[in-house]
Structure 1
Amino acid sequence: MSKQTGPVSLPQELLDFYDGLLVIQQKYLAKIRELNLFSVPEQWVWDKTNPLVSSIKPVTDPVLARELFNQLLELLTCYKPVWADSIKKLEGMTEKDFSDLIVSFLEGDRESVGGIISRLDIQPEVAEFAIFQTVKPFLRTYAEAANLNIDTANWLENFCPVCGNKAKIAVIRGEEGKRYLRCSHCETEWLYKLLACPNCGNDDHQTLSFLLIEETPGYRLDVCEVCKSYLKTIDARAGLKPNMDTSEIQTIYLDIIAHERGYSNRAVNA
C-alpha cells in the first residue's frame, strides 16, 4: 500500500516508520528536558567564530540514552528486517562500546565511530542511524540552552553555530525573504545568505538554481551545480505555517526527487 505525499507516492510502511520514529523522539525529548542536563557556564563568552561544541561539550544521561537506543532498535526490527543481523549486534553491545560510540559521535570523531562499528562488524548505515537518532534529542536540549547565549541572526556561516553540523532544510521568512538554515542534528536555526550554497559556499548565481514543485507550492529544492548538493526549502511567504518537527517526514518526496536528479545532501542521517 502507498500514500500520495506531494507529487510522489510513498509506501505506507515508510510513513508509518517515520511516524513511529517521531513518537519516540518526542517522548524522549520531553524526558531529557526535565533533566536539565546542560547549561552554559556564566563566565562563558562566545567568540563568534567557532561553534559552541568546540569549547563546551554536550552531555547525555547514559541510562536514558540506552533506553532510547533500545526503543529505536525495536522500531528498526519491525520495519527493517533486512538489518536484523546488525540490529542484534547493536542490542548486544557492551556499555563501554555504547558509551564510546555516543561520545565519539557527539564530538564529531567519525574515525573513532567508524573504528568501533568496524570492530563490531556492524553495517555502518544501521549503526550510524541508530546512534544519530539516539543523540539527536540530547543535542536539541543542548542547543535550546545554548541559543540563549549565541547570536544566530549574525552567524552567516554554512555550519551550525551550536554543534558545527550542516543544514538539512531551510525556511524563507519575512517580507525581506531572509533564509534561515536548520541544523540536521540539533535543530538550531540561523540566518544565511539567500544566494549561496550552504554546502560548499558557492555564490555564483549561474550555478545556483531552485526546482519548484508544482503540486506543492511553497516547497522547493535549492541546488548547486558545483558540488551537486541540494537543500530542501520551505517558503513561508507562500502562507505556509510549517511544523518544523515534522518537516522532514512531510518532505521526503523532495529527497526522492533530488536523488533522482543526481543531487545529494551530506547532512542527512535519517
Structure 2
Amino acid sequence: MGQIEAVKKMWQRTLEKNKQYKPVMKVHVELVEMLEMHTPSHLPQLSFTETELAGKLGQGIPFLEGKEKEIDLTSAAPLFVALTKWSGLGKAKSAFKSTVKHLSEQDIRDLLRGWLKGDEAQVTHFASRHQLPIDVLHIVLRYSLLPTLQQYGQQLFDSGLFDEEFWMKPYCPVCGDRQGLAEFRGDERFRHFRCLSCAADWKYWRIGCPYCDNRNHEQLSSWFIQEETGHYQLDVCERCHGYVKGINKIERSSLPFLIFDDFITMSLDLFAQEKGYHPYGTTQQLIQ
C-alpha cells in the first residue's frame, strides 16, 4: 500500500471516531500529495570526510550547518510554488498565489537559501514586501524544504557516524531546528524527538526541558491525555513555561504520519497555550 493510501485509511478510521477532523483531513492529505509529488529522486552527496563529519558532530554542530550553498533546491523551488495553492493556507492563499506570479525561480531559490541560512531579515523583508503573513510564510518555507532536507538527513544516518546516545541535544542533528513533538516508544528512558523541518529522529532525556535545560523534577510535570484518537502526553516546565507534546508510538512515524501526528495533536497545543505555556511552533494557525 502506498503512503497516500495508508494516510487516507488512517483518516477514515479517525473520522469514524470524530467527524470534526474532516477539515484537517483535507488539508493533510492535500499536503502529503504535494510533498510526495515533489520528493527528490536523487540528491548529490554533500562533501564531507569522515573525520570532518565526526569532528562536527562532536562539537554539537548540525550536519547541514555551513553547507547551505550546497543543498540542491531542484525539488524545493517547485514545491514552494505548489504550496501557494494549498488549502491549508486559509485566508492567506490568495496573497500567496498572487505573489508567486511575480517571482522567478531564482527569487524563490534565494528565499529558500535565506531560510536555510537563518537569515530572518531576508525572510521578514520578503513577507513585508509582498504583504504575506510571516507565520504562514514560515510554514510554506519549511514544507517546501522538508522532502529535500529529509533526504539529506538520511545521508547523515547512513554514514554510521551519528551516535544518538552522544548527541542528546535539544536541537536537530541534521538541520538544527527544535523538536516539533516527541514519540514515546515502549519503556525507554528517553523521548524520541522529531524534527518537523527534516523529519529527523533523535533521543532526548525523558525528564528535562529542552528549552531551558531544567532537570529539576519538582519544576517539571507531565500531563497524560487520552482522546478518541490516541494517548498523548504534555511535558511542561514551570521555569520557562515551555511545553513538549508527545504521542505513544510502537515505532517511528514515517514523514506523512509524522505530519499527521502533528495535525492530530493541535488540540494539545491549544490546551497547553490556554494554560499559559509556550510552544516552539504549531501548524494550528494554518487551518481556518
* TM-score, length of structure 2 as denominator length: 0.79
Name the counterpart of 1:25: 35
Taking the TM superposition and a 5 Å limit, the aligned residue runs for 1:90-239 are 90-147=100-157, 148=159, 149-215=161-227, 218-236=231-249
2:262 is aligned, of 244, 248, 254, to 248
Which whole-Å CA distance do the structure 1 matches of 2:251 and 2:156 have between them?
A: 25
Name the counterpart of 1:12: 22
Partner AA of 1:223 in structure 2: V
Which whole-Å CA distance do the structure 2 matches of 1:11 and 1:262 have between them?
A: 25
Q: Is the contact between residue 7 and residue 253 of structure 1 (CA under 8 Å) also seen in structure 2?
A: no
For the residue of structure 2 that corresponds to 1:213, the secondary structure is: strand
Which whole-Å CA distance do the structure 1 matches of 2:63 and 2:135 have between them?
A: 28
Which whole-Å CA distance do the structure 1 matches of 2:14 and 2:275 have between them?
A: 20
The 1:8/1:166 distance shift into structure 2, 3 A limit, reads farther
Partner AA of 1:46 in structure 2: A
* TM-score, length of structure 1 as denominator length: 0.83
Which whole-Å CA distance do the structure 2 matches of 1:12 and 1:210 have between them?
A: 29
For the aligned residue pairs, the C-alpha RMSD in angstroms reads 2.8
**Which structure 2 segments of 5+ residues have no match?**
1-12
Deviations 1:29-74 (A, max 9, x none): 2xx1x22233452353322121122343361233x32321222112
Residue 84 (structure 1) aligned with residue 91 (structure 2): no
For the residue of structure 2 that corresponds to 1:54, the secondary structure is: coil
Per the TM alignment, residue 164 of structure 1 is displaced from its structure 2 partner at its CA by 0.9
Residue 265 (structure 1) aligned with residue 279 (structure 2): yes
Which whole-Å CA distance do the structure 1 matches of 2:63 and 2:92 have between them?
A: 38
Name the counterpart of 1:37: 44
The 1:7/1:40 distance shift into structure 2, 3 A limit, reads farther
The 1:96/1:190 distance shift into structure 2, 3 A limit, reads same
Aligned residues: 260
Greater CA drift, 253-262 or 150-159: 253-262
| Identical positions, percent | 24
**Which structure 1 segments of 5+ residues have no match?**
none
Deviations 1:110-140 (A, max 9, x none): 2221122223332212322211110111111
